[in-house]
Structure 1
């Protein structure tokens, strides 16, 4: 599960006051809202990239409010993917398990399994430069899932894709979420994505969450 309790965030003149949300274990939650309403700010606070002014953040039932980003049990796909241009696809999929000290054999097996299910097995030895937008998003998703996080956060993961690639990614996201059993919080402003993916649909407006 992913939960925020009374979360307040300050950023210059921008503020979010006392929001709460709860995505149950294994559910696919979608957070909607207009551009600039603070959706990314909420994700960054949950990830540990932005310090809240007040409130609590819980992942899988444990409070993580003051833990560093790498100790929260989260996978994160930022809006631009934030891939490493000099690394190949295999290295992206191995990155988080290697940081966490997995055995080499387990890292290799996990990378191969994810690559197969994400449809990027033929790209494992390719650098991410030159990959299509859809391929890059699959790599970013695989990297975020590689260390088996308790929850997955995604910031507008389909916004840069054309209609055909977006439809394919929607199908893939639902399938991989079910297979992994991971709790998801997906930020978007696109109602079609929300309708296709959400078990739970939330809206952020005027610094408040409803839904």
Structure 2
């Protein structure tokens, strides 16, 4: 379970305040709102990439507000994917495991397992620069899932994809949500996308969080 309690975040003149919500294991939360409404700011605070002024981020009732990102058990796919262009697909997927000092054989096994799950087993030796947008998104998901996180945060993972590829990734996300039973927090501008994926929808407007009916 992920919970935000009375969260307050400041970014220059912009601020989010009184942010309260809870997402249980297996639930898929889509976070909506106009550009500049604070969606990415909130998700970065959950991941430990942005300082919280007040309040708490809880994971299974444990306060993780002041933990560094690597200690939070949260996988994150930023909007641009943030893949390493000098690395192969396999190296990108295994990167988080390497910095966690997993044994080489265990890394190779986990990378292969994720490659099969995400449909990229034929791409493992390719440079990410030679991948399509949909393939890059699958690799970014693999890297975020590699260390068995309890939370998966996605910042507009479908925004740069064509309609056919978007449909493929939506099916993939639906499968991952059902199979892995994670808490998923997904930023989106698309109401139709949200309704296909979400078990709950929240909207940010003027720094205030509101529940949206499905």
TM-score tier, shorter chain, comes to over 0.9
After TM superposition, the structure 1 = structure 2 runs for residues 25-64 of structure 1, keeping only pairs within 5 Å, are 25-64=25-64
Q: Deviations over 1:127-153 (max 9, x none)?
A: 100210000000000000010001000
Cα deviation for residue 95 of structure 1 reads 1.2
Conserved 8 A contact 1:48-1:65: yes
Q: Deviations over 1:50-77 (max 9, x none)?
A: 1011010012332110011111110000
Partner of 2:68: 68
In the alignment, structure 2 segments of 5+ residues that lack a partner are none
Partner of 2:91: 91
Q: Deviations over 1:160-188 (max 9, x none)?
A: 00100000000001101222221100011
Higher mean displacement: 100-109 or 84-93: 100-109
Q: Does 1:202 align with 2:198?
A: no
* RMSD (CA atoms): 1.0
Q: Give, in whole Å, the separation in 2 of the partners of 1:143 and 1:6.
A: 31
Higher mean displacement: 150-159 or 15-24: 15-24
Conserved 8 A contact 1:48-1:68: yes
Cα deviation for residue 106 of structure 1 reads 2.1
Give the TM-score normalised by the residue count of structure 1: 0.97
Q: Does 1:110 align with 2:110?
A: yes
Partner of 2:124: 124
Partner of 1:22: 22
Higher mean displacement: 16-25 or 134-143: 16-25
Cα deviation for residue 208 of structure 1 reads 1.2
Paired residues, what number? 211
After TM superposition, the structure 1 = structure 2 runs for residues 129-208 of structure 1, keeping only pairs within 5 Å, are 129-208=129-208
Q: Give, in whole Å, the separation in 1 of the partners of 2:3 and 2:87.
A: 34
Higher mean displacement: 91-100 or 70-79: 91-100
Find runs of 4+ consecutive structure 1 residues off by over 4 angstroms.
none
Q: Give, in whole Å, the separation in 2 of the partners of 1:12 and 1:205.
A: 17
- SS of match in other structure, 2:128: coil
